[in-house]
């Protein structure tokens, strides 16, 4: 089963993401609503996918913070939720994000993105 960690400051958004992940028959292995909790908890979660809201990253330090997350969980696929797809997307890509999902996407489209990225998780025997 695909293991997903949710990092979003807004409880209602985390709740919606949790329901979506569960509906996809994936397992939520942890959640956090602030950056320091995310960095502390996510390495212990053994998540396959890290679903992180860009706005959770420290202001002005998004790129280094995302790089730090990549170091903490080198094998996880990092999916960033972002509201404005512009130069920040390019910067985050260089920091190690694997995929971006616009927060304006429909739940069906978000589910499609998560299904697609889950196919990239190596099967460990």
Report the CATH number at residue 100: 3.40.50.2300
Residue 94 has pLDDT above 60, yes or no: no
Q: Give how many domains the chain has, as a whole number.
A: 1
**pTM for the full model?**
0.80
SS3 track for the chain:
CCEEEEECCCHHHHHHHHHHHHHCCCEEEEEECCHHHHHHHHHHHCCCEEEEEHHHCCCCCHHHHHHHHHHHCCCCEEEEEECCCCHHHHHHHHHCCCEEEECCCCHHHHHHHHHHHHCCCCCCC
Residue 61 has pLDDT above 90, yes or no: no
- Look at residue 118 in the predicted model and tell me its pLDDT: 83
Domain span at 45: 3-118
φ and ψ at residue 108, rounded to 5 degrees? -65, -40
Is 84 a member of any domain?
Answer: yes
Is 123 a member of any domain?
Answer: no
Q: Which tokens belong to 80?
A: 């960033």
Confidence band for 114, pLDDT divided at 50, 70 and 90: confident
Is 124 a member of any domain?
Answer: no
Is 20 a member of any domain?
Answer: yes
Is 75 a member of any domain?
Answer: yes
């Amino acid at each position: 089963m695909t293991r997903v960690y949710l990092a979003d400051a807004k409880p209602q958004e985390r709740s919606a993401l949790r329901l979506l992940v569960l509906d996809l028959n994936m397992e939520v292995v942890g959640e956090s609503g602030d950056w320091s909790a995310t960095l502390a908890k996510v390495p212990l979660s053994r998540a396959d996918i890290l679903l992180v809201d860009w706005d959770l990253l420290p202001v002005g330090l998004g790129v280094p913070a995302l790089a730090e997350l990549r170091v903490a969980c080198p094998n996880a696929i990092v999916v960033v939720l972002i509201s404005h797809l512009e130069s920040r997307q390019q910067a985050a890509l260089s920091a190690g994000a694997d995929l971006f999902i616009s927060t304006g996407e429909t739940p069906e489209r978000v589910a499609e993105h998560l299904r697609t990225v889950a196919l990239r998780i190596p099967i460990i025997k």
